[in-house]
Structure 1
Amino acid sequence: MTVGMINPHPVIHAKKERLSRTEYPHLAAVDPLDVYDQIRDIKDPEHPYSLEQLNVLNPDSISVDEILHRILITFTPTIQHCSMATVIGLCLRVRLNHCFPPHYKVDIKVSPGSHADEESVNKQLNDKERVAAALENPSLRQLVDECLSNELAS
């Protein structure tokens, strides 16, 4: 979809062995590894690699508060001017909304200092109306769906 790549030569990391101990725990507590296992294979919008392979995500970038039912994902774009940061965040949000019960509040943020427009990206990704409007855009929704449907094999 993008005319020219902003980061044509990203650093690729080896895929790690599966970390999750079980399938989604319907009745058990949710922990960061359960969350990570659901999102690690999402395809990057610009490259044929997963978010895990590009080190955009790792298990340490996820926290879960079981008492407050909150999940916090902090991701690191591959470059400071990544034009796909919002798309990556939307992919994470859509996936987590499908995987976890609605009583979980999901916050998605870029790592502090990792993006030139950090405040704007975080605002977009955590505002329900902005997220809904973004997902109503047919071309943006198609890009999100492609990233989620073209996940890389484990």
Structure 2
Amino acid sequence: MTLGLINANPIVHAKKERVARCEDSHCCDAVDPLDIYDFVRDIRDPEHPYSLEQLSVLSEESISVDDKLGRILRITFTPTIQHCSMATVIGLCLRVKLQECFPPHYKVSSTDLLQILVSQFAVNKQLNDKERIAAALENPNLRQLVDECLYSNEL
């Protein structure tokens, strides 16, 4: 579902090779940024058939985990253009994916947007409000867009 291209010609980067990890998912107690990156790197951009990794919206360095403070996951992403109207949808996709992949005792901290100083506060407020997220996901069109971004590569 493409709503009209805001950035018709994004710069597309090659996908990085996945790092081999231990096969026993219970061998490590702590979650590290690479674990999180592996879960979210293939989320498709809402406007393009490319992943967030390919568009450099997301990188390994933009993810941090703080196990000492209640297992807070923080993801900072950079939209492809400064005033991206899809920034909230990207943040919503990241939150939904992380909620699906990690236990409830992990808290997803605000998804900060780089280079968007004016709208950063408003977007983060929306993404950190559980009621707003639940209401957004009740909208069938928005839910379909999120699902397409999250699961289009799994088909």
TM over 0.5: yes
The structural deviation recorded for 1:152 is 6.9
The structural deviation recorded for 1:23 is 5.3
* d(CA) in 2 for partners of 1:152, 1:50: 12
Structure 1 residue aligned with 2:12: 12
User: SS state of the match for residue 153, structure 2?
Assistant: coil
* d(CA) in 2 for partners of 1:134, 1:62: 24
- The 5 Å alignment of 1:105-144 reads 105-114=107-116, 116-144=118-146
* d(CA) in 1 for partners of 2:142, 2:117: 20
Q: Which runs of 5+ in 2 are unaligned?
A: none
* d(CA) in 1 for partners of 2:103, 2:122: 27
Q: 1:109, 1:122 within 8 Å by CA — same for their partners in 2?
A: yes
Structure 1 residue aligned with 2:57: 56
Structure 2 residue aligned with 1:32: 33
Instruction: Judge which range, 123-132 or 14-23, deviates more.
Output: 14-23
Gap change, CA 1:93 and 1:34, over 3 Å in 2: same
Question: Structure 1: which 4+ aligned runs deviate by more than 4 Å?
Answer: none
Structure 1 residue aligned with 2:77: 75
Gap change, CA 1:5 and 1:87, over 3 Å in 2: same
Q: Which runs of 5+ in 1 are unaligned?
A: none
The structural deviation recorded for 1:25 is 3.4
User: SS state of the match for residue 63, structure 1?
Assistant: strand
* d(CA) in 1 for partners of 2:22, 2:10: 32
User: SS state of the match for residue 151, structure 1?
Assistant: helix
Tell me the C-alpha RMSD between the 2 structures: 1.9
Letter in 1 for 2:32: D
